[in-house]
Amino acid sequence: MQRRIVECVPNFSEGRRQEVIDAIVESIRDVGGVLLLDVSSDADHNRSVVTFAGEPEAVLEGAFAAIRTAAEKINLDEHQGQHPRIGAADVVPFVPLQGMTLDDCAVMARRLGQRVGDELGIPVYLYAHTATRPDRQDLQAIRRGGYETLKEAVLTDPNKQPDFGPARLGTAGATVIGARVPLVAFNVFLTTDDVQIARRIAAAVRHSSGGYHYLKSLGFLVKGRAQVSMNFTDPTRTPIARVVETIRREAARYGVSIHHTELVGLIPQGAVLDAAGWYLQLDALRPGQVLETALRSALDAHPEWE
């Protein structure tokens, strides 16, 4: 029988102090049975994204341990960074990888939320597929104004009551937890330090202001360059290549161009094939034409081989 595998991609509000990032990663590793897949840290955003996977129980324990460590080591009152955030462990999504559904992940998210609220005393907001109200489906709506705004609002605004935990923020802030499909976090750096250009381009391409359906985007100044920072929430429908070429055209309209791009965390192989196929005009590229994938499939179909 195929093993059930869930992915967890927590984002932490620390991208500078390596010892804190290491401590968070170690607390995940210390839980047996989890596979650490990637750690991406960014000093300008002062933020790290950890990707790990495994069976549901182990992954839930890993997520809880990481949130506890982040709460101990990160003080939001002292945190500065480009990226919007409300918590030390800012957002903790569960993603179905193998033998799991989105609903299975939603059950995990609610269990984790309950424990984080009860045992760590951290307010938890459920989002995405796990949201308890329509205005919490969207992560950016929950996070708008950041830690500083929520700290006041949670005390007075009935719309800001958390799903679990107390209605007050400590130095660990609040944590957003939920179930979602895989996304791709992708940043485009421009040949300018004018952050307004990045903000205008972000507004042009993102869904909320008239752009592509499955795209979220913000403009930042990172490492001295204007950066269009994006989340592709369904890269099978809003493909990376099309958006990058739209950004290239928009940038030209401001007299600048794309300097380079970066991927934060992991990307499904399908999204890479799709980008290569789009540019190369390779109409009929199938995952089964990738040598490693074809060999893997053939080996999986012949278990006597391994």
Catalytic residues, by residue number, are 83
Separation of alpha carbons 186 and 231, rounded Å: 6
Say which residue the tokens 């709506």 belong to: 141
**Least Cβ distance, residue 135 to a copy of itself (angstroms):** 30
Helix axes 269-280, 240-253, angle to 10 degrees: 60
**Least Cβ distance, residue 111 to a copy of itself (angstroms):** 23
Q: Which residues bind a copy of itself (CB under 8 A)?
A: 3, 5, 7, 33, 35-38, 51, 53, 97, 182, 240-241, 244, 258-263, 265-269, 272-273, 275-276, 279-285, 288-296, 298-299, 301-302, 305-306
Residue 50 or 124 with smaller CB distance to a copy of itself? 50
Separation of alpha carbons 296 and 306, rounded Å: 11
Residue 153 or 276 with smaller CB distance to a copy of itself? 276
**Least Cβ distance, residue 295 to a copy of itself (angstroms):** 6
Separation in Å, CA 115 to CA 108, 156, 165:
11, 24, 9
Count other Cβ atoms within 10 Å, centred on residue 252. 11
Residue 132 or 289 with smaller CB distance to a copy of itself? 289
CB 47 within 8 A of CB 89: no
107 Cβ contact list (under 8 Å, min separation 6): none
Separation of alpha carbons 43 and 111, rounded Å: 32
Q: Which two tokens stand for residue 289?
A: 């034409």
**Least Cβ distance, residue 51 to a copy of itself (angstroms):** 7
